[in-house]
């Protein structure tokens, strides 16, 4: 059994249209959502051994807001997670060493939505997840695999799906 948490970066700012996409920071709404998610995680512990975060500024800032609520974890910023392709995220997961049983991925849409809906085949909030994976949302999946290399379509159960609007 492996646990995979998927956190979509919070709402970014479009105040400076000259910034490259990778350099866009969080907006005020995104910072509020990140703080709300951090409070949620303080009460509903998620303890990843490894955190994989897109190198995009908005993803890194989202992670910085929730990190104090996550406990000790190794953090990596692989370039391949600056992607909007769910298959690329799954390939990254399959390439992980066997060690970490719980992994958090902080990334982008539609990749987070694609990964969650490819892997999860059951779970209380699955219908809501299939509808939309909004900015700042968190999906926690329990995967019925022994190794990350074995991750495949339909191997998961959605254990939790939390959206910023659920926290207000």
Q: What residue segments make up the domains of the chain, in order of their start? A: 2-101+114-138+150-167
Residue 108: is its pLDDT beyond 80? yes
Q: What percent of the chain has pLDDT over 90?
A: 96
Residues pairing with 167 in the sheet: none
pLDDT bucket at 45, cuts 50 / 70 / 90 = confident
Residue 19: is its pLDDT beyond 80? yes
CA distance 19 to 160: 34
Decide: residue 92, CB within 10 A, 0-12 exposed, 13-18 middle, 19+ buried. Answer: buried
The architecture of the domain spanning 2-101+114-138+150-167 is 3-Layer(aba) Sandwich (3.40)
Contacts of 138 (CB under 8 A, 6+ apart): 5, 6, 7, 8, 37, 40, 41, 46, 160, 161, 162
pTM for this structure? 0.97
């Amino acid at each position: 059994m492996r646990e995979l948490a998927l956190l979509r970066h919070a709402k970014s700012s479009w105040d400076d249209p000259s910034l490259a996409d990778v350099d866009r920071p969080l907006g005020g709404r995104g910072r509020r959502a990140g703080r709300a998610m951090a409070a949620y995680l303080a009460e509903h512990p998620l303890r990843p051994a490894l955190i994989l975060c897109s190198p995009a500024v908005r993803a890194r800032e989202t992670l910085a807001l929730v990190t104090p609520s996550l406990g000790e974890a190794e953090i990596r910023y692989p370039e391949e997670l600056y992607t909007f392709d769910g298959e690329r995220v799954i390939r990254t997961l399959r390439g992980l060493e066997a060690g970490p049983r719980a992994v958090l991925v902080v990334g982008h849409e539609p990749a987070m939505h694609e990964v969650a809906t490819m892997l999860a085949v059951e779970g209380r909030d699955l219908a809501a997840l299939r509808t939309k994976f909004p900015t700042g949302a968190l999906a926690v999946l329990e995967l019925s695999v022994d190794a990350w290399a074995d991750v495949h379509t339909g191997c998961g159960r959605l254990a939790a799906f939390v959206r910023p609007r659920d926290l207000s």
